[in-house]
Amino acid sequence: MPSYKLTYFDFDGGRAEPIRIAFHAAGIDFEDERISFPEFGEMRKGTRFNSVPVLEIDGAAVTQSNALSRYVGKMAGLYPADDLQALYCDEVLGALEDLSHYVVQTFGLQGEELKLARKKLVDGWLSVYLKGLDELLARGGGEYFAGNGLTVADLKAFVQVRSLRAGKLDHVPADLVERLAPGLVEHQERIEGDPRVTAYYASRS
């Protein structure tokens, strides 16, 4: 078994969280390297695309969170074997990545500029993606996005919806998901209660 070291920010969320949960579900030991923002500032230029997460496999760095989620997800049984279901899983991973990109564009703004950008986000891309993801969940049967079981797509959606519902983004109403995509709320709670997910968080506490 190779050695794995995953480097990301020190919080239970974001792009690395599905990878961490999948490692735990697979029963694979990995070094969970959690860095502060100042530490990231120091190492940023040394990373391949000036970003994290980075997974080192026997010391060789690999980037791109969705690719890493798929890689670890396959080892954990959290990625569909069927090609069409894998495509459905990938569509959700890609959509969530696009949504993160739009959300991150509003980071660092302040005051009126932030308020306007967040209003535009809520009325625009957030609405588009939440409604679209709700449809994709319905396509999967309503409980999971693909393959009638837990996949890394569910993990990534759960992490994003949990974050939105926590109300931590100023000017983004905490009940936005409830209003636009109620299926995603039920989904988040279902995934949060999955034994593989609860076991991961129990191991963290």
Ligand X SMILES: N[C@@H](CCC(=O)N[C@@H](CS)C(=O)NCC(=O)O)C(=O)O
Residues in contact with ligand X by CB under 6 A are 14-15, 44, 50-53, 63-66, 97
Instruction: Outline where 56-126 has alpha helix (H).
Output: 65-76, 83-104, 111-121
The nearer residue to ligand X, 36 or 148, going by C-beta atoms, is 36
Q: How far is the CB of 182 from ligand X (least distance, A)?
A: 27
Q: How far is the CB of 47 from ligand X (least distance, A)?
A: 8
Question: Distance between CA 69 and CA 75 in Å, rounded?
Answer: 10
The nearer residue to ligand X, 44 or 119, going by C-beta atoms, is 44
Tell me if residue 32 falls in helix, strand or coil: strand
The nearer residue to ligand X, 14 or 77, going by C-beta atoms, is 14
The nearer residue to ligand X, 35 or 149, going by C-beta atoms, is 35
Cβ burial, residue 124 (10 Å; 0-12/13-18/19+): exposed
158, HSE (Cβ side, Cα atoms, 13 Å): 26
Overall size of the chain counted in residues: 205
Written as six digits, the tokens of 166 are 């926590």
End-to-end CA, the chain = 27
Q: How far is the CB of 161 from ligand X (least distance, A)?
A: 17
Q: How far is the CB of 80 from ligand X (least distance, A)?
A: 20
Residue with smallest beta-carbon separation from ligand X: 51
Q: How far is the CB of 29 from ligand X (least distance, A)?
A: 22
The nearer residue to ligand X, 14 or 132, going by C-beta atoms, is 14
Written as six digits, the tokens of 91 are 């569509």
